[in-house]
């Protein structure tokens, strides 16, 4: 029994830590610009494959850690380009932004699929920092995942500090609260949005770097599943709320792992849980647990 509880708690924390990183950036972009970026899941997927491709290149033998730097830079740039080339000109139309970012996610998926390693599943275990596990109450705790959870918490804290204390962070908050007023104060809202999208892509990339070496690349369409669960997280926590997305991520994580461990035949229902959360929260409290009252 204690093992089952440990199992549920650890895996819930692990899932929550991953979704916190992915959903935080997603939620931030929505909160600041009202942009629904459907290519967010594709950033996560693409980072994994960028790492894989670079690891397969002879040039990077012995320089494995350089791949991480390159992958994160590339994904941040792609995030920036998404905003500049596709989102910014269409900002006024919800539907157009959604369709164009969907198109981008679809394109990235297809590009990966066409690439030589696109049709199989892959492990990038070379990038694991820690090996082995420790038994706690008869439950094996994998070191790599402990590293992930710790790093995720650190990143979330640093990010909160950045948003609250730094000049750029304050501008981001200002734009998210009142765009016109921020404009009057001399803040270039469009540039702030660009930075926000880049930061969100970087966070998705970081999540991929921390999580995927201990997990696997499940094929080019893996991004959609993470995107969908991020929807559940931000709906639960409230669109645009950072505390909300972190809390929401852990709630979603624990409900998934609870269903997996304790519900009979739960594993085949586990990924229905986030979707049901979306529906229920939308019907009961559409602004989410920590969201702003008004709906866009």
- The yes or no reply on residue 265 touching another protein (CB under 8 A) is yes
- The yes or no reply on residue 57 touching another protein (CB under 8 A) is no
- The yes or no reply on residue 186 touching another protein (CB under 8 A) is no
Which of 206, 215, 233, 249: binder of another protein (CB under 8 A)? 215
Scanning residues 66 to 125, which ones bind another protein (CB under 8 A)?
85-86, 89-90, 93-96, 98-100, 102-104, 106-107, 110-111, 113-114, 119-123, 125
Which run of H or of E encompasses 139?
A: strand 139-142
Which of 202, 251, 261, 290: binder of another protein (CB under 8 A)? 261
Which of 31, 205, 214, 248: binder of another protein (CB under 8 A)? 214
Q: 130: phi > 0 → left, psi -120 to 50 → alpha, else beta; which?
A: beta
Q: How far is the CB of 64 from another protein (least distance, A)?
A: 12
**Rounded distance, CA 9 to CA 136, Å?**
12
- The yes or no reply on residue 134 touching another protein (CB under 8 A) is no
Which of 179, 183, 269, 289: binder of another protein (CB under 8 A)? 269
Q: Which is nearer to another protein, 110 or 188 (CB)?
A: 110
Torsions phi, psi of 10, nearest 5? -65, -45
Give the three-class secondary structure for 190: helix
The strand pair at 139-142 and 133-136 is best described as: antiparallel
- The yes or no reply on residue 190 touching another protein (CB under 8 A) is no
Torsions phi, psi of 123, nearest 5? -110, 140
Closest CA to 21 of 278, 174, 199: 199
- The yes or no reply on residue 256 touching another protein (CB under 8 A) is yes
**Rounded distance, CA 154 to CA 78, Å?**
25
Q: Which is nearer to another protein, 131 or 167 (CB)?
A: 131
Torsions phi, psi of 111, nearest 5? -60, -45
Radius of gyration, alpha carbons of the chain:
19
Interacting stretch for another protein, rule CB under 8 A, among 20-28, 69-77, 140-148, 159-167? 140-148
- The yes or no reply on residue 219 touching another protein (CB under 8 A) is yes
Interacting stretch for another protein, rule CB under 8 A, among 58-66, 156-164, 182-190, 213-221? 213-221
Q: Residue 187 in contact with residue 25, Cβ under 8 Å?
A: no
């Amino acid at each position: 029994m204690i093992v089952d509880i440990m199992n549920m708690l650890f895996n819930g924390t692990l899932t929550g830590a991953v979704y916190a990183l992915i959903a935080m950036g997603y939620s931030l972009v929505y909160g600041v610009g009202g942009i629904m970026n459907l290519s967010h899941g594709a950033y996560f997927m693409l980072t994994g494959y960028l790492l894989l491709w670079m690891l397969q290149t002879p040039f990077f033998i012995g320089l494995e850690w350089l791949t991480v730097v390159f992958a994160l830079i590339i994904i941040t740039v792609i995030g920036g380009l998404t905003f500049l080339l596709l989102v910014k000109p269409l900002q006024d139309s919800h539907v157009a932004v959604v369709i164009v970012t969907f198109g981008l996610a679809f394109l990235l998926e297809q590009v990966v699929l066409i690439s030589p390693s696109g049709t199989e599943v892959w492990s990038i275990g070379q990038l694991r920092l820690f090996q082995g596990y420790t038994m706690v109450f008869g439950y094996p705790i994998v070191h790599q995942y402990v590293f992930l959870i710790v790093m995720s918490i650190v990143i979330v804290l640093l990010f909160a500090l950045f948003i609250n204390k730094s000049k750029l962070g304050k501008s981001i908050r200002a734009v998210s609260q009142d765009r016109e007023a921020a404009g009057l104060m001399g803040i270039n809202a469009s540039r702030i949005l660009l930075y926000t999208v880049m930061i969100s892509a970087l966070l998705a990339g970081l999540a991929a770097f921390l999580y995927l070496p201990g997990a696997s690349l499940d094929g080019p369409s893996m991004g959609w599943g993470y995107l969908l669960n991020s929807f559940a997280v931000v709906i639960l926590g409230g669109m645009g709320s950072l505390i909300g997305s972190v809390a929401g991520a852990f709630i979603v994580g624990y409900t998934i792992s609870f269903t997996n461990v304790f519900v009979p035949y739960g594993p085949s229902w586990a990924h229905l849980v986030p979707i049901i959360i979306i529906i229920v929260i939308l019907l009961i409290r559409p602004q989410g647990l920590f969201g702003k009252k008004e709906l866009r």
